[in-house]
Structure 1
Amino acid sequence: MHRMVKMRGRRVFMMGAAALTLAVASITSAQAQQIDWPACDSGYICYWDQEDFQGNKVTERPWALSGCFYTPIHAKSIYNNTSNDYAFYSDDYCESFDRRVNHWDQASRANAKTIRWV
């Protein structure tokens, strides 16, 4: 009987380990699918007029100046493929903060009309 309990415990452990491995593989696969970077040349910020990097795309090589500047379009998606961090605003005066997009990062859902180097 002791041997039977030991075998049953080993079988339960192996089934649990297999389930955990499958769960981790599923999570890893889902995370890999989420990091699907849109096309944007190095050194540029790319803007889309629709969320999730859809619609018309406009590319801009930004500069690191202080001040508030208009984005080339009212952006609903942004990919910052530069080495600088930028703050984006939903108004004309860089007062209504929308989001910060750090260097080599993206925002698939934005509302940006103006930009400021941070």
Structure 2
Amino acid sequence: MKLRVWALCAASALVMLISTPVTAQAEAAPSNCPSGYICGYDWKDYTGNRVVSRPGEFHRYDPPAFSVYNNTPNSVWIYTDEACTQQEGPIPPDSGLSNTYAYCAWAPA
């Protein structure tokens, strides 16, 4: 009986973990992400090679970005598939996703 209760609790925790959406966190901008730009990094925690894009540009990351910071006054959407059709977001202004996988990013101008 104890084993069944434990298994049920573990299964419930797994369902909650899987169904919890990834949300952007408000945090200080990385020091190398200029104001007014979207910055994509090829490694997590805003490290590695950086690519910047302006709002209004649909930007494709090659290689994909593992972290994206929104240093613009508008929300940013990222796309997590190679065809850039699977939208995730929005990432609010002055926040980012420090451990994600993005092929594309877009924000209104």
Q: Note the alpha carbon deviations across 1:48-105, whole angstroms, 9 max, x for none.
A: 10001111112222317xxx65236411111110011121111133322344311121
Runs of 4 or more, structure 1, over 2 Å off, are 34-37, 92-100, 115-118
TM-score (norm: length of structure 1): 0.57
Aligned to 1:11: none
Q: 1:89 aligns with which of 57, 61, 79?
A: 79
Larger-Rg structure? 1
Contact in 2 for aligned 1:86/1:115 (Cα 8 Å): yes
Q: Percent identity?
A: 32
Q: 2:34 aligns with which of 29, 41, 48?
A: 41
Higher RCO, 1 or 2 (CA under 8 Å, sep at least 6)? 2
Query: Within 1, Cα distance between the matches of 2:37 and 2:69?
Result: 8
Q: Which amino acid is 2:76 matched to?
A: Y
**Unpaired segments of 5 or more residues in structure 2?**
1-25
**Unpaired segments of 5 or more residues in structure 1?**
1-33
Counting matched residue pairs gives: 82
Cα RMSD between the aligned structures?
Answer: 2.4
SS at match of 1:52: coil
Q: Which amino acid is 2:104 matched to?
A: T
Structure (1/2) with the larger helix percentage: 1
2:105 corresponds to 1:115: yes
